[in-house]
């Protein structure tokens, strides 16, 4: 390779660090090397002409016209390492060794017989030994030039970005918690097209490889006392059905794990539904059946206030766990084939659920409490172990305040100060006032300390270390945690970043598929199966 071209290549390697290949590729494969590439199973041989950062040009050998090949298209790239044939080398070596040995032997034998070994005897011995050596060498050496093929690390398998994008496409990504209905109720946007706001819309979901975002049917806690919770839940369910009906082929309702798989094969994004806050049940198991029939497949028993079903992790206890009706609800959910979600409920309510539920349960958007000590929205190690023992899954929340102690302290410190300030000034909290307050808070305390993608990976690693790969998933809380999402995971187009991070942490493809959705689909199918066993009709 001419010096200038080599320099240019080195500069490009430095400027675009390693998208498709390792930096030593140019030393492994000098221009002129014999190479063999396989594209879609088709092998082509040729000689390397030019090497770029993302492709190579090869040809001509055997009439091959020069062709440019992108690394991203290559299944396999091999370079030939040729050495001269063995026959001549072996024959020459054999002759020399044979000659020396033969001469020595003759000299010794002749010397014993006549007491004076002559140079003639040595010469004769060397001649016979040499001939024998050459004969031996010629027979053993196979004559063919030695050619070994070395596989080089090139192709989608070796490009972390492409590898992640491919897996995002081929894996079924199930995200257990998105607050899209809540967001759209506040401000309607057509999410079947690109939207200016929010963390979710169809084009971004396709870009991220998202296949089944659970739509949270969320009702604020104060609606329970007002008797408006059921009405609100029905409105939000109507809205999700509307989104599907308005965009057939893009979105589809999914009432079972198998339906998610079928929609995936047909190219539609499933919009399964989970109910966040059990208030809409309004103390009547008939309402549970009603919501099951309308498509709700999990219920988060309470939200930020204790309700008639369970105590909340963020409120004073009313029941010391589940209410008597709450226990009935869990049993009936088992019977109907609905997943029980323990996110948001108090520790005592969690342990009650563990005792009552005969089916695996989920935490749809919670992380390990280890990272936010004492904060009850995340789960303690004992709770994670119990959940896993029952076959359940912890779905990791992406909100920064779930991920790091620093973000948690900042967010809740600011919120408490805001509430105090509103009360002191006798003002009703509004979005505008809160934004104003947050700005002033940032001027005094510094900007919000966003968590990073690595913090999400740390939580996944932590759960895997604690209970294994089968009990962790994702419950992003997109459209639900405001402007607190971590750097690198800001909306539904960013799952490939997460996948790349998992690859870099050493997870294999099969393991990543479990995290992305396989584990939740397993629990969903299991809950369905147990229903069939309980109620053969
Ligand atoms: Zn929530």
Contact 453, 463 (CB under 8 A): no
pLDDT in tens, 294-350: 999 999 999 999 999 999 999 999 999 999 999 999 999 999 999 999 999 999 999
Average pLDDT over residues 89-106: 74
Distance 399 CA to ligand 1 centre (A): 10
Average pLDDT over residues 448-473: 97
Kindly report the pTM of this predicted structure.
0.76
Q: Using CA atoms in the order 170, 274, 180, 484, what is the torsion angle rounded to 10 degrees?
A: -90
Distance 528 CA to ligand 1 centre (A): 24
The pLDDT of residue 123 is above 80: no
Distance 272 CA to ligand 1 centre (A): 16
Between 10 and 78, the more confident residue is 78
Distance 300 CA to ligand 1 centre (A): 8
Distance 177 CA to ligand 1 centre (A): 8
pLDDT at 31: 86
pLDDT at 127: 83
Between 26 and 29, the more confident residue is 29
Distance 263 CA to ligand 1 centre (A): 26
Between 188 and 119, the more confident residue is 188
The pLDDT of residue 16 is above 60: no
Beta bridge partners of 218: 276
Average pLDDT over residues 130-136: 73
Judged by average pLDDT, the poorest of 23-32, 107-116, 318-327, 509-518 is 107-116
Average pLDDT over residues 352-373: 97
Judged by average pLDDT, the poorest of 134-143, 168-177, 238-247, 382-391 is 134-143
Contact 489, 453 (CB under 8 A): yes
Distance 112 CA to ligand 1 centre (A): 103
Judged by average pLDDT, the poorest of 45-49, 260-264, 341-345 is 45-49
Average pLDDT over residues 112-121: 63
pLDDT at 115: 56
pLDDT at 429: 86
pLDDT at 21: 46
Distance 500 CA to ligand 1 centre (A): 27
Average pLDDT over residues 410-424: 93
pLDDT at 43: 87
Distance 384 CA to ligand 1 centre (A): 18
**Rounded distance between C-alpha atoms, residue 209 and residue 516, angstroms:** 10
How far, in Å, are 348, 395, 410, 416, 476 from residue 344 at the CA level? 12, 13, 20, 19, 15
pLDDT in tens, 427-456: 988 889 999 999 999 999 999 999 999 999
Phi, psi of 79 (to 5 degrees): -120, 140
Residue 12 binned pLDDT confidence (cut-offs 50, 70, 90): very low
The pLDDT of residue 35 is above 80: yes
pLDDT at 104: 77
Distance 178 CA to ligand 1 centre (A): 9
Distance 368 CA to ligand 1 centre (A): 15
Contact 177, 274 (CB under 8 A): yes
User: What's the mean per-residue pLDDT of the chain?
Assistant: 88
Task: Give the up-direction half-sphere exposure of residue 348: CA atoms within 13 A in the CB hemisphere.
Answer: 16
Residue 140 binned pLDDT confidence (cut-offs 50, 70, 90): low
Distance 464 CA to ligand 1 centre (A): 23
pLDDT at 27: 79
Average pLDDT over residues 156-165: 83
The pLDDT of residue 229 is above 90: yes
Residue 113 binned pLDDT confidence (cut-offs 50, 70, 90): low
Q: Supply 270's token pair.
A: 């499933």
pLDDT at 52: 81
- Domains of the chain listed by start with CATH number: 3-76 (2.30.30), 86-144 (no CATH), 159-297+361-404+449-534 (3.20.20.140)
pLDDT in tens, 49-83: 888 877 888 887 665 678 888 888 888 899 988 77
pLDDT at 309: 96
Report the Cα–Cα distance between both ends of the chain, in Å, rounded: 75
pLDDT at 139: 66
**Rounded distance between C-alpha atoms, residue 322 and residue 233, angstroms:** 22
**Nearest Cα to Cα of residue 480 among 213, 237, 174, 180:** 180
Judged by average pLDDT, the poorest of 84-88, 226-230, 373-377, 416-420 is 84-88
pLDDT at 87: 62
Q: Select the highest-mean-pLDDT range: 20-24, 108-112, 260-264.
A: 260-264
Q: Select the highest-mean-pLDDT range: 39-43, 125-129, 189-193.
A: 189-193
Distance 293 CA to ligand 1 centre (A): 23
The pLDDT of residue 201 is above 90: yes
pLDDT in tens, 382-403: 999 999 999 999 999 999 999 9
Contact 74, 82 (CB under 8 A): no
**Rounded distance between C-alpha atoms, residue 26 and residue 50, angstroms:** 10
Residue 180 CB neighbour total at 10 angstroms: 26
Distance 477 CA to ligand 1 centre (A): 7
**The three-state (H, E, C) secondary structure of 204-265, written as one string:** HHHHHCEEEEEEEEECCCHHHHHCCHHHHHHHHHHHHHHHHHHCECCEECCCCHHHHHHHHH
Distance 221 CA to ligand 1 centre (A): 12
Distance 344 CA to ligand 1 centre (A): 7
Q: Supply 120's token pair.
A: 């003639």
Judged by average pLDDT, the poorest of 75-89, 195-209, 275-289, 464-478 is 75-89
Distance 312 CA to ligand 1 centre (A): 11
């Amino acid at each position: 390779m001419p010096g200038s071209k080599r320099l240019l290549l080195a500069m490009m390697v430095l400027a675009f660090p390693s998208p498709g290949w390792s930096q030593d590729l140019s030393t492994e494969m000098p221009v002129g090397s014999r190479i063999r590439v396989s594209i879609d199973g088709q092998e082509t041989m040729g000689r390397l002409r030019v090497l770029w950062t993302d492709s190579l040009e090869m040809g001509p050998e055997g009439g091959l016209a020069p062709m440019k090949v992108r690394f991203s298209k290559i299944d396999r790239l091999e370079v030939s390492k040729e050495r001269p044939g063995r026959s001549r080398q072996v024959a020459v070596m054999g002759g020399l060794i044979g000659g020396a040995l033969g001469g020595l032997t003759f000299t010794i034998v002749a010397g014993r017989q006549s007491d004076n070994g002559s140079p003639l005897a040595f010469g004769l011995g060397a001649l016979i030994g040499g001939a024998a050596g050459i004969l031996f060498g010629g027979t053993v050496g196979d004559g063919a030039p030695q050619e070994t093929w070395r596989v080089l690390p090139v192709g989608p398998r070796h490009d972390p970005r492409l590898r992640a994008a491919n897996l995002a496409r081929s894996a079924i990504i199930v995200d257990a918690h998105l607050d899209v209905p809540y967001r759209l109720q506040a401000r309607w946007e057509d999410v079947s097209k690109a939207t200016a706001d929010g963390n979710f819309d169809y084009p971004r979901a396709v870009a991220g490889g998202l296949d089944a975002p659970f739509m949270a049917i969320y009702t604020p806690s104060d609606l329970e006392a007002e008797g408006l919770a059921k009405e609100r839940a029905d409105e939000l369910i109507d809205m999700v059905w509307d989104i599907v009906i308005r965009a057939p082929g893009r979105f589809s309702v999914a009432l079972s794990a198998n339906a998610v798989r079928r929609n995936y094969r047909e190219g539609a994004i499933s919009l399964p539904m989970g109910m966040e806050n059990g208030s809409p049940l309004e103390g009547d198991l008939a309402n549970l059946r009603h919501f099951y029939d309308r498509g709700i497949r999990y219920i988060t028993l309470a939200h930020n206030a204790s309700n008639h079903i369970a105590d909340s992790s963020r409120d004073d206890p009313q029941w010391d766990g589940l209410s008597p009706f709450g226990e009935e609800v869990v049993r009936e959910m088992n019977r109907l084939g609905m997943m029980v979600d323990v996110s948001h409920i108090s520790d005592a309510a969690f342990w009650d659920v563990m005792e009552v539920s005969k089916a695996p349960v989920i935490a749809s958007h919670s992380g390990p409490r280890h990272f936010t000590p004492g904060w009850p929205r995340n789960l303690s190690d004992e709770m994670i172990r119990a959940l896993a023992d029952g076959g359940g899954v912890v779905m990791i929340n992406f909100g920064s305040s779930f991920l790091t102690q620093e973000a948690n302290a900042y967010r809740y410190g600011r919120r408490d100060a805001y509430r105090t300030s509103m009360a002191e000034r006798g003002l009703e909290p509004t979005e505008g006032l809160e934004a104003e307050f947050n700005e002033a808070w940032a001027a005094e305390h510094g900007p919000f300390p966003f968590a990073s993608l690595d913090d999400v990976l740390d939580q996944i690693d932590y759960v895997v270390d604690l209970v294994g790969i089968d009990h962790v998933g994702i419950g992003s809380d997109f459209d639900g945690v405001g402007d607190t999402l971590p750097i690198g995971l800001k909306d539904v187009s960013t799952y490939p970043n997460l996948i790349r991070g998992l690859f870099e942490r050493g997870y294999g493809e099969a393991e990543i598929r479990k995290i992305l959705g396989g584990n939740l689909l397993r629990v969903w199918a299991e809950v369905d199966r147990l229903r069939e066993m309980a109620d053969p009709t």
